[in-house]
Chain A
């Protein structure tokens, strides 16, 4: 049973629209992540957060923004959708153990499949 929820599950939207992908987790995890998964399955880290009011850019972040106002919520916003944004977006969280080696596993949502026409 998923403890990390992503909405919507599927979204079709026109070019130029602003969209927000929602991600919530009920596990009290401090660390949260957004990944873009291309059709070839490869994962690209877009943004991540180590806790409330913390956000960091990943490898593929230039056209999106995130916020972390509450521990459980980590929304991703595309200011102006383009066809190149068509992809699957996966949200994940982890416990975030504050020690030198944090090996806590990532828990993933089921993803949002975005199509920009």
Chain B
């Protein structure tokens, strides 16, 4: 079945460091790919998405490119802030089936 694998955390970075969180997927057909973020004490919220190969999703300085040849959707940000500390989830969706989430990666950014 469909699955998402993302790098295990926790990831700890200093403020203004470059961030990469790796995400790869296994799915038949052409899924849509998403990154969700969960801030402390809250539910998840959509960060960005890409619906077809070579699409780049971007939001709040975060970017991810849908790479079909490597089945990847890595999340990147050039300069992280303390306020980016959260748990990040990669997810895929195919047709009308429910989202399939990765296990989440906790990011801590220290000043």
B: number of interface residues (CB 8 Å)? 23
Residues of A within 8 A of B (CB): 4, 33, 40-43, 45, 48, 50, 58, 90, 92, 100-103, 105-111
Complex-state Cα separation, A103 to B36, whole angstroms: 14
B28 within 8 A of A: no
Residues of B within 8 A of A (CB): 32, 34, 36, 38, 41-46, 49, 51, 87, 89, 93, 95-96, 98-99, 101, 103-104, 106
The main secondary structure of chain A at its interface with chain B is loop
The main secondary structure of chain B at its interface with chain A is strand
Q: Are A111 and B87 in contact (CB under 8 A)?
A: no
Q: Are B49 and A105 in contact (CB under 8 A)?
A: yes
Q: Are B43 and A92 in contact (CB under 8 A)?
A: yes
A92: B residues at CB distance < 8 A: 43-44
Complex-state Cα separation, A8 to B106, whole angstroms: 26
